[in-house]
Structure 1
């Protein structure tokens, strides 16, 4: 895999060669015009992969972060954390916040 810098004049003369190079595994072809970047060519498979990644990023951005954390297994509920800290029944110990007095 590699990156190619291709002057636009070479692209005009050798378009099929540039496309074949992309098909064979080159990452991208930077097209220059008058020595300056003008365009970028990528192979079709890479283009499709980039679109899929972009769509995934858009979906992840739209979802609340806790859903993403839950899917990755990095999500912990308050009840789980309390249990890990030795608090057996969070509701029982803190009913006074809800009812003004302990239920027990």
Structure 2
């Protein structure tokens, strides 16, 4: 009986050892997978940082373009006023010219 319990203990020990080895293997595989994911996420983080920097640079450019467009709109408005004034003065000049020619006749 001692040999039966001894062989049974050896089987249990061998079985336990195999399960422990398998769990160690799974754990090592899990650590490897975790490490790969960490490396990927750090690269993703770098990509996100680059995207954020580019977006902030583009935002500044868009704000400058918007300001330039507003200034151009003001210039267009003022040029419109000047055109109206020139047209009004040209009409007045034509009227004065007609009156002057009428006086000469």
Question: TM-score, normalization: structure 2?
Answer: 0.31
Higher helix fraction (1 or 2): 2
Question: TM-score, normalization: structure 1?
Answer: 0.31
Larger Rg: 2
Higher relative contact order (CA 8 A, sep 6+): 1
Higher strand fraction (1 or 2): 1
